[in-house]
Amino acid sequence: MAGSSTPRVGVLALQGDFREHAAVLSGLGASVTLVRRPEELAAVDGLVIPGGESSVMDKLARAFDLAEPLRAAVRGGLPVYGTCAGLIMLADRIVDGIVGQESIGGLDVSVRRNAFGSQVDSFETDLDIPVLGAPPVHAVFIRAPIVESAGEQVTPLATLDDGTMVAVEQGNLLGTSFHPEVTGDTRFHAYFLAKVAAAV
């Protein structure tokens, strides 16, 4: 909030691993609100959309009358960080969405859901992410999406060895295919909080 030194960050709490994100953000000194209603969204300075099941999250966002307020918040410049399913929610284009699946949009990317296969195909790897400095980020991919293509306004922050984009940034929006909330490495959340503080 304006005039406050503590950023008020929401975590979309419709479905998925929102509690883990809330714990990391609280540990970094943010004031955290679990967001399930439009009025809760309206009270935050930034928002994290967690991993989970993107099609279920989409249905719940519409059921809770949150879909349009979320789109309006993104258009209005609210800093938003999406991880895994959250990245899918922020993407302008979902190349393999289920019938009727919608996204919030804002990130000029095309994403593919479950690009690496099912839960048993989850994996971990170390990624060099220059904006976060050394050491490499240990990234956990769980039924993860990938960014298949990105517009010229999008900055790739991390790629796999084959060049596949797995972390991107565009203006007020940040997205990762992986789950930094489960590894104990808080640098991505800290990077996002700096973005929130700058916007406030």
Hey, which bits of the chain come out as E strands?
8-12, 31-35, 46-49, 80-83, 91-94, 107-112, 123-127, 137-141, 146-150, 155-159, 165-170, 173-176
Residue 46 domain flag: yes
Q: What is the pLDDT of residue 3?
A: 44
Structural domain contains residue 155: yes
Whether 2 is in a domain gets the answer no
The CATH number assigned to the domain holding 15 equals 3.40.50.880
Residue 41's nearest CA partner among 6, 16, 92, 76 is 76
Respond yes or no: is residue 84 known to be catalytic: yes
Write out the two tokens for 194: 């700096």
Q: Which of these is catalytic: 124, 148, 152, 179?
A: 179
Q: Encode the chain (200 residues) as per-residue pLDDT tens digits.
A: 444 578 899 999 999 999 999 999 999 999 999 999 999 999 999 999 999 999 999 999 999 999 999 999 999 999 999 999 999 999 999 999 889 999 999 999 999 998 887 666 789 999 999 999 999 999 999 889 999 999 999 999 999 999 999 999 999 999 999 999 999 999 999 999 999 999 98
179 tagged catalytic: yes
Cα torsion through 47, 186, 1, 33, rounded to 10: 50
Q: Are 33 and 8 in contact (CB under 8 A)?
A: yes
The residue annotated as part of the active site, out of 21, 169, 181, 189, is 181
The active-site residue out of 84, 102, 124, 138 is 84
165 near 176, Cβ under 8 Å?
Answer: no
**Residue 109 falls inside a structural domain:** yes
Can you give the residue range of the structural domain that contains 98?
8-199
Give catalytic status of residue 138 as yes or no: no
| Tally of domains in the chain | 1
Does a structural domain hold residue 165? yes
